Amino acid sequence: MKYKLPISIIILSLFASLAASAPKGMKRLSQLDQDDNGQINFEEFSKNHLERFSDLDKNSDGIISQEEFLMPISNHFQRMDLNSDGAIEKKEAKKAMQSKKQKMKKQRNKRDKKKQRNKKDRRKSKNKN
């Protein structure tokens, strides 16, 4: 049996997880704040969360079933279970965590460089005006 979750519950749970951790929340704020004004307007918030909703709604029926909702967790488990034995051993978890840490560091560096370029471009644009 599939469970249907209203969009509002999904959005509220995503927003609650954003607010739950301050440092992580600040990073998330900067990601959502596309115009870098220190605030997230409705358009920025809605765009991001509707994209996430669409990512979860695999069959595009406008409803996220329990199966669809849990799919990312299942995929994550499969990626961590390196020897495919249906269990995650300590060494597998450690290796997966190290790999994830390296990937996140690369993404952070890439994002920081892009932000710096954007700031330089805005300054140049301001100076020209």
Q: What is the pLDDT of residue 76?
A: 81
Residue at 101: amino acid letter: K
Share above pLDDT 70 across residues of the chain, in percent, rounded to a whole number? 77
Q: What is the pLDDT of residues 96-114, one digit of tens each?
A: 888 888 989 999 999 888 8
Residue at 45: amino acid letter: F
Q: What is the pLDDT of residues 40-72, one digit of tens each?
A: 777 777 777 777 778 888 888 888 788 887 787
Share above pLDDT 90 across residues of the chain, in percent, rounded to a whole number? 5
Residue 35: CB atoms within 10 Å: 10
Residue 1 banded pLDDT, cuts 50, 70, 90: very low
Residue 74 banded pLDDT, cuts 50, 70, 90: confident
- Half-sphere exposure (CA, 13 Å, Cβ side) for 68? 19
Q: What is the mean predicted confidence (pLDDT) over 16-28?
A: 58
Q: What is the pLDDT of residue 8?
A: 56
What is the distance of C-alpha 108 from the center of its chain?
13
Q: What is the pLDDT of residue 129?
A: 62
- How far apart CA 4 and CA 109 sit, in angstroms, is 38
CA-to-CA dists, residue 15 to 27, 38, 39, 100, angstroms: 14, 16, 14, 23
Q: What is the pTM of this model?
A: 0.39
CA-to-CA dists, residue 73 to 45, 70, 106, 116, angstroms: 24, 5, 23, 34
- How far apart CA 66 and CA 105 sit, in angstroms, is 32
